Amino acid sequence: MDKAPGCGARDSDKEHAVAHDAQSIPVLIETLSNRDGLQRQAAREALVHIGDPAVAPLIAALGDSREHVRWEAAKALGQMCNPAAAPALVRTLEDREGGVRWVAAHALISMERLGVAPLLEALMSRSNSVLLRDGAHHVLRALCDGELAALLSPVLAALDGAEPVLQAPVAAQAALARLNTNQKGE
């Protein structure tokens, strides 16, 4: 059904609204540190609504000293599913707080294929990190139920194996090569 003239926002109106919202990003990022969980949630939801302009500030917030700011930033990035956030979320799998690591893992799971390459690259270079291997295991286990199962199962098996520090990088490199070949063929 066609919209009647004047119904709905025009593209220029939408661009103006996003530009106006983007001006509030610093305030919203600061609100992620509020003690009131409802205010933090409202700020996170507003940042998700703003979209792409909020990605870089949210990535920066993953480095904040306050746990709940990092948690909220990871949660927002997971809801946004922007591939630019994937490398930062992979790094967050090594956060000192378990809750932040868990949210980062679920953010990568929600990104599905978009988060796989940075995760495999991290396993290739930092397989000695127990936190990274644990987080990667959680993400890969969740993603092995779908279309990525054949690609990711060998990496998961390497993480479960006797020498994950040695086996995971080799399996990750092979999976990354297959992933890159599949993407070129699409």
Q: Where are the domains of the chain?
A: 9-83, 112-186
| pTM (predicted TM-score) | 0.86
**pLDDT bucket at 74, cuts 50 / 70 / 90:** very high
Neighbours of 29 (CB within 10 A): 22
**pLDDT bucket at 5, cuts 50 / 70 / 90:** very low
**pLDDT bucket at 46, cuts 50 / 70 / 90:** very high
CATH fold for the domain made of 9-83: Leucine-rich Repeat Variant (1.25.10)
Give the tokens for residue 112: 């599905």
For residue 67, give every residue at least 6 positions away whose Cβ sits within 8 Å of its Cβ, in sequence order, or none: 97, 99, 100
| Residue in the structure block whose two tokens are 């956030």 | 85
Segment 24-42, tens digit of pLDDT: 999 999 999 999 999 999 9
Are 21 and 14 in contact by the 8 Å Cβ rule? The answer is: no
Residue ranges with strand state E in 72-113: none
Give the span between the Cα atoms of 148 and 113, in whole angstroms. 8
Q: Decide: helix, strand or coil at residue 122.
A: helix
Give the span between the Cα atoms of 178 and 186, in whole angstroms. 13
Are 101 and 94 in contact by the 8 Å Cβ rule? The answer is: yes
Torsion, CA 134, CA 138, CA 140, CA 143, rounded to 10:
-170
| Residue in the structure block whose two tokens are 């700011």 | 69
